[in-house]
């Protein structure tokens, strides 16, 4: 993984954490300027995650011979264990304690749909959100993985076209079936394609030719675009791919710092666990009268600890075991180092 991407993944995870802090503690209606900023902009972390995902999936498979089944097994090994852990933990908390996690109800059929990444109406009435509500993004991820895996049946020169048509079919075709399928009508699906496009440019060496001055200009332009949200600029999200391109173009300037690499490694677990942690911290803050920033520091520390434990015990062990077994079968031809 590129060091620049590790930093971007960490940033994406933590701005989402701060976004949900504003939601859980203030319902996006209060707090100081710091909290309001992340209440307004924190969801851009999801856009950043999707673009990074598209980039990583394309770039890490561009020079490999990989079968669709092995691709999906590797993706499932990466995504499922931690997601099931925190989904079942949520189910346990909802079953055992009333109102610890608000706007959440437990039904067996809904739980199973949540665990298998099938969009379904949440029994609490909040919409097409799984039991672990942040898992809605994984429903998009898994659909992207499915589309991408199917393109692996195609000759390599047709795969990019296949990915584009597949996402287009899902967003404009599948969603028209209505019901839970309407979930896929979101234009967020196209952010994976943006990430794939960035991956193509990087694979061809175009992005590496960007000099530091131009990268700084792109970063400045991205900030201006994003802040345009405050003034009703409809295309403010265009700033996100510019950030990704600028960062990876200057990969040589990003040192492999242990702390930032760790936060990047833990970012998936951070994303999965943070709403549970913040919800419990919120209940504690009411009970004990904690100051907002005491609660934020305590919640952040707990998220870091749980993220580390989840990554170390669940993500790394399970994923590594499956990947070693699959690579041992010599099905994958790895990109030359």
pLDDT score for 331: 45
Please give the pLDDT value at position 99. Answer: 76
Spatial CA neighbour of 116 closest among 143, 94, 93 = 143
CB 144 within 8 A of CB 79: no
What's the pLDDT tens digit per position in 153-210?
Answer: 999 889 999 999 999 999 999 999 989 999 999 999 999 999 999 999 999 999 999 9
Q: Residues with Cβ < 8 Å from 38, sequence gap 6 or more?
A: 15, 18, 19, 21, 22
118 inside domain: yes
The string of pLDDT tens digits covering residues 109-154 is 999 999 999 999 999 889 999 999 999 999 999 999 999 999 999 9
**Is 31 among the domain residues?**
yes
| In a domain? residue 335 | no
User: Phi and psi at residue 234, in whole multiples of 5°?
Assistant: -70, -20
What integer pLDDT is reported at residue 333 of this predicted model? 41
Where in the sequence is the domain holding 114, given as residue range(s)?
Answer: 3-328
pLDDT at 334: 39
- What was the pLDDT predicted at 256? 67
pLDDT surpassing 80 at residue 335: no
Is residue 180 one of the residues assigned to a domain? yes
337 within a domain of the structure (yes/no): no
Confidence (pLDDT) at 235: 86
Whether the Cβ atoms of residue 148 and residue 57 lie closer than 8 Å to each other = yes
Nearby residues of 243 by Cβ (< 8 Å), 6 or more positions away: 8, 48, 218, 219, 222
Is residue 187 a part of any domain in this protein? Answer: yes
pLDDT in tens, 271-297: 999 999 999 999 999 999 999 999 999
**What's the pLDDT tens digit per position in 216-275?**
999 999 999 999 988 888 889 999 999 999 999 999 888 766 778 889 999 999 999 999
In a domain, 75, yes or no: yes
Total number of domains in the chain: 1
Supply the pLDDT for residue 332. Answer: 44
Q: What is the pLDDT of residue 323?
A: 72
What average pLDDT does the segment 326-332 reach?
57
DSSP bridge partners of 65: 333
Q: pTM of the entire structure?
A: 0.93
Q: Give domain status of residue 334, yes or no.
A: no
* Helix spans in the chain (H): 3-26, 33-41, 44-61, 68-96, 108-115, 136-151, 159-172, 189-203, 212-227, 239-249, 258-265, 267-288, 292-309, 316-328
Q: Are 241 and 194 in contact (CB under 8 A)?
A: yes
pLDDT confidence of residue 327: 66
């Amino acid at each position: 993984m590129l060091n620049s991407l590790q930093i971007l993944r960490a940033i994406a995870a933590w701005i989402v954490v701060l976004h949900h802090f504003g939601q859980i503690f203030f319902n996006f209606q209060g707090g100081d300027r710091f909290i309001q900023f992340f209440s307004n902009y924190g969801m851009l972390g999801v856009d950043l995650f999707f673009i990074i995902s598209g980039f990583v999936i394309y770039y890490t498979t561009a020079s490999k011979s990989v079968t669709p089944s092995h691709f999906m097994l590797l993706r499932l090994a990466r995504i499922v264990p931690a997601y099931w852990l925190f989904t079942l933990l949520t189910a346990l908390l909802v079953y055992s304690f009333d109102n610890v996690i608000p706007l959440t109800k437990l039904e067996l059929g809904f739980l199973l749909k949540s665990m298998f990444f099938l969009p379904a109406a949440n029994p609490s009435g909040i919409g097409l959100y799984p039991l672990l509500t942040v898992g809605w993004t994984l429903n998009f991820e898994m659909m992207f993985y499915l589309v991408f895996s199917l393109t692996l049946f195609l000759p390599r020169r047709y795969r990019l076209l296949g990915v584009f048509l597949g996402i287009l079919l899902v967003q404009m075709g599948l969603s028209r079936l209505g019901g839970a399928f309407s979930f896929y009508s979101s234009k967020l699906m196209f952010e994976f394609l943006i990430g794939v496009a960035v991956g193509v440019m990087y694979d061809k060496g175009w992005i590496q030719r960007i000099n530091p001055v131009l990268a700084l200009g792109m970063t400045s332009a991205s900030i201006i675009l994003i802040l345009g949200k405050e003034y009703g600029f409809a295309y403010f999200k265009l700033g996100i791919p510019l950030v990704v391109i600028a960062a990876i173009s200057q990969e040589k300037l990003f040192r492999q710092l242990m702390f930032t690499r760790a936060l990047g490694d833990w970012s998936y677990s951070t994303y999965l666990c943070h709403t549970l942690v913040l919800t419990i911290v919120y209940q504690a803050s009411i009970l004990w009268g904690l100051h907002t920033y005491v609660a934020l520091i305590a919640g952040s520390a707990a998220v870091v600890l749980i993220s580390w434990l989840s990554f170390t015990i669940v993500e790394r062990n399970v994923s590594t075991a499956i990947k070693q077994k699959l690579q041992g079968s010599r099905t994958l031809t790895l990109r030359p180092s």
